[in-house]
Structure 1
Amino acid sequence: MASKKRIDSYTYLSGFGNHFTSEALPGALPQGQNSPQKCPYGLYAEQLSGTAFTVERKQNQFSWLYRIRPSVCHEPFTKITESTNLRGSFSRHDTQFIPNQLRWSPFPLPSDSESLNFVFGLSTLAGAGDPILKNGLAIHIYCANKNMEDMAFYNSDGDFLIVPQHGRLDIFTEFGRMLVSPNEIAVIPRGIKYSVSLPDGPSRGYILEVYGHHFELPNLGPIGANGLANPRDFLTPTAAFEEEKEGNWSIVNKYAGKLFIAKQDHSPFNVVAWHGNYVPYKYDLANFVAINSVSRDHMDPSIFTVLTSKSAFPGTAIADFVIFPPRWAVQEHTFRPPYFHRNAMSEFMGLILGSYEGKAGGFLPGSGSHMTPHGPDATTYEKASNEELKPVRVADGTMAFMFESSLMLGITQWGLSEQVHVQPDYWKAWQNLKSNLFYDIEKHEKLYFP
């Protein structure tokens, strides 16, 4: 995948949360004001708001777009009546809340007889809350084998954090183009139009959607100014546009969990210049600066948080995006794999590439797992309990990740259907964990306790 990343010929602006300016034609950006009586090149000024106007300045997100025709130039939207696997709200009536550990085999790519683009290849696996109330999240899987030709998509419900696992995504947004490879992520905030092409053919990946607060970098606290995902490594596309030409474009909108479609006779990617801080962006997970213990014991997985979407409760997230990158393990007197854990949070894990250190088998790239009580399987436990504790590299050639939430995740009908393979024997991974405690009842003393 590294060689494919190097052929990315698109240009980007560096930084997270910055106020950027970009123009594809010289002088296209108005100077000194946002909405002049006449814009350069006869463009239309259009503001895209990502927050309410009146939030604190440090939270306010918006961009000004200067486009050939404004976004209102389309026919009325109509509801798409074909059956899709997308879901928006999650109640006990249409989803199942299951306390068992669940694991899915790799989600199937489309067959040769299917023709699915990125939008119609979306399937909702799990979630909680409701986009109408702007509170909650959804986990989707995309499996696609067709470019979005003369079609654009935007999501009125929430922000998409896209995790490609198989195949690159060439994403044309209103702000410009991004090429996103496996081991990179892309974030497309609510309301931004984009179209996805598949330069490597059939593609698969994971999506975390948040309905409320936008994604932000986690606070570092005692870590200091540097570490984890550094702001400079986030890349936003530069302005690029398609000239006006006759055509029949479809605009697909996800609204309250349903898909709607409208027609227009011109490309929606007609933004010649823009400025603002409400933008799409991508990030290479290989740039993550991992932090861990250099003495003893196992740090909590929150040290691997890349992005977070906060809830109304301080220190608690609607969703965290966490990765487990290649790193050194050097702890002394310590069981080094992830410890056994019963969690107040809900966890969904996926694997982009390699082999996850917490599971000896059955968890393959393109798989997923939903965990309640969890921890290493018996094989991993035995190996880690007896190996020599010398400095070793962990997870080379591997990238696992976790979507974590304070909400309880419901599993959709699709997530439990025959279209995907839920591994029925996953629970057996822990059944070989035996008791190591031997006790003399008469003498009331331990005979052996490792």
Structure 2
Amino acid sequence: MAGLKYLSGFGNEFSSEDPRCPGALPEGQNNPQVCPYGLYAEQLSGSAFTCPRPSNKRSWLYRILPSVRHKPYTAMDSGNLTETWDEVEPDPNQLRWLPFTIPKSLEKKVDFVTGLHTLCGAGDAKSRNGISIHIFICNTSMTDRCFNNSDGDFLIVPQQGEILVTTEFGKMMVEPNEICVIQHGMRFSVDVFGETRGYVLEVYGAHFELPDLGPIGANGLANPRDFLTPVAWFEDRELAKGYTVINKYQGKLFSSQQAFSPFNVVAWHGNYTPYKYNLQHFMVINCVAFDHADPSIFTVLTAKSTRPGVAIADFVIFPPRWGVADHTFRPPYYHRNCMSEFMGLIKGHYEAKEEGFQPGGASLHSIMTPHGPDEDCFEKNSTAPLKPERVAEGTMAFMFESSFSMAVTKWGLQTSKRLDENYFKCWEPLQKHFDPKWRPSKQ
């Protein structure tokens, strides 16, 4: 399929032009008096103009018509997309959801936008500080309409069904076990090929970046070269009935009409692009002596806050790996945390909860809410021989971790009807093993 080529690297300066129009990229100037092929020059800025060079993000787009040519935006039904965090009373309990139901296309056609459901979040898009976590469940492609997020970045995690994401920069096919990031302000549409489901992490006021490696050194975790950016692809298409541009602005949806496709960018260059990443390329770092390392060693991308070492959100994965730690309880330990931990499962069985936590479902452990392995996991791993073993084979779980205290929406707690009311019972069988007469054996 045309356009399914990629440029490699993360955060670099790229340039690309559709091969149908060689020389479409101007030479020497970003905004010449007359662009090649009679194109319009348009800059997309992802940072303030005066940001330091390492954090300054922008791309120049050379397009058939500029994006400014559209009818006024009008409010539209936002469905289950929301930024209202006080719909229901706060709930500090451990929460778990069964796999979210995908509607059958014969019953109701739902595309990516109408299939977005906000599950939880915190903060405020107006002040550019916060996050939202959404579930998308859809069964049909977006036709003659695109989505533009004026609030923040979307990190999209498909769980069931591949998605073809068409952007102003080109096309990306994204399959389960891959992710893609559509950054603030970029227009895109999503084609699906059947019943499709996944997760979306939205951050306001910050962009995702690779975490610092510290003493790990130059190599490890996610390698910049494995992040792929699409190659320029355009369509010169006019529509008598109009093309719909949907804009998410201050948590609400608005729509406008224009007479041409927004995917009319013939060439572009810059360091502000959409990108995708295959999770199997992640280079796992783990302990080889004793103890269970903190999950921060599995961070793929981070959106930093203004406090050093504290993230608005981290995207963390738990991929297949070797467990070799000795004299150690190897699964995740019992824990209370000053961060909110939202977990999803793409495939397989999560090591600490092999029953109940299912692909396409989710869990939320709020700030300082205790959590950890269920009774079955604890008992098995307290007596298991500590030989080197493969952990999480055939599995991919992930976590959206945030310093924000997240509120759950009414849809998440009530309307979705997917909340597992029995989640707390997985810890009830835990027994007391305390023996006051125990003494260490003499060696």
- What is the match of residue 355 of structure 2? 361
- What is the match of residue 98 of structure 2? 105
- Give the drift of 1:277: 0.6
- Give the drift of 1:87: 0.9
Specify the code of the residue in structure 2 equivalent to 1:431. Answer: E
| Aligned pairs (5 A) from 1:33-432 | 33-80=29-76, 82=77, 84-90=79-85, 93-111=86-104, 112-199=106-193, 201-247=194-240, 248-371=242-365, 372-432=369-429
- Give the drift of 1:435: 0.8
1:425–1:448 distance in 2 versus 1, CA, 3 Å: farther
Deviations 1:166-223 (A, max 9, x none): 0001011000000000000000001000010002x11000000000210000000000
What CA distance in whole angstroms lies between the structure 2 residues aligned with 1:33 and 1:264? 29
Deviations 1:252-293 (A, max 9, x none): 000000000001111000000000011000000000000000
In structure 1, the gaps of 5 or more residues are 1-6, 440-444
What CA distance in whole angstroms lies between the structure 2 residues aligned with 1:52 and 1:438? 61
Deviations 1:100-139 (A, max 9, x none): 1000000111133111100010000000000000000000
- Give the drift of 1:419: 2.2
- Give the drift of 1:99: 1.2
In structure 2, the gaps of 5 or more residues are none
What CA distance in whole angstroms lies between the structure 1 residues aligned with 2:339 and 2:332? 16
- Give the drift of 1:243: 1.5
What CA distance in whole angstroms lies between the structure 2 residues aligned with 1:244 and 1:68? 10
Contact 1:8 1:179 in 2 (8 A): no
Q: TM-score, normalization: structure 2?
A: 0.96
What CA distance in whole angstroms lies between the structure 1 residues aligned with 2:134 and 2:267? 32
What CA distance in whole angstroms lies between the structure 1 residues aligned with 2:118 and 2:89? 13
- What is the match of residue 4 of structure 1? none
Specify the code of the residue in structure 2 equivalent to 1:395. Answer: A
Contact 2:3 2:233 in 1 (8 A): no
What CA distance in whole angstroms lies between the structure 1 residues aligned with 2:383 and 2:311? 36
CA RMSD of aligned residues (A): 1.4
Specify the code of the residue in structure 2 equivalent to 1:100. Answer: N
Specify the code of the residue in structure 2 equivalent to 1:257. Answer: G
Contact 2:17 2:267 in 1 (8 A): yes
- Give the drift of 1:244: 3.2
- What is the match of residue 3 of structure 1? none
What CA distance in whole angstroms lies between the structure 2 residues aligned with 1:83 and 1:38? 40
Aligned structure 1 segments of 4 or more residues deviating by more than 4 angstroms? none
What CA distance in whole angstroms lies between the structure 1 residues aligned with 2:270 and 2:83? 29
Q: TM-score, normalization: structure 1?
A: 0.94
SS at match of 1:265: strand
Aligned pair partner of 1:29 in 25, 30, 42: 25
What CA distance in whole angstroms lies between the structure 2 residues aligned with 1:147 and 1:423? 30
- Give the drift of 1:10: 1.0
- Give the drift of 1:83: 5.4
Specify the code of the residue in structure 1 equivalent to 2:81. Answer: L
- Give the drift of 1:95: 4.5
Contact 1:327 1:395 in 2 (8 A): yes
- What is the match of residue 442 of structure 1? none
Specify the code of the residue in structure 1 equivalent to 2:202. Answer: E
Deviations 1:299-350 (A, max 9, x none): 0000000000001110000000000000000011110000111001000000
Specify the code of the residue in structure 1 equivalent to 2:7. Answer: L
- Tell me whether 125-134 or 111-120 shows the greater mean CA deviation: 111-120
- What is the match of residue 446 of structure 1? 438
Contact 2:353 2:374 in 1 (8 A): yes
Specify the code of the residue in structure 2 equivalent to 1:41. Answer: Y
Specify the code of the residue in structure 2 equivalent to 1:389. Answer: L
What CA distance in whole angstroms lies between the structure 2 residues aligned with 1:233 and 1:302? 20
1:448–1:428 distance in 2 versus 1, CA, 3 Å: farther
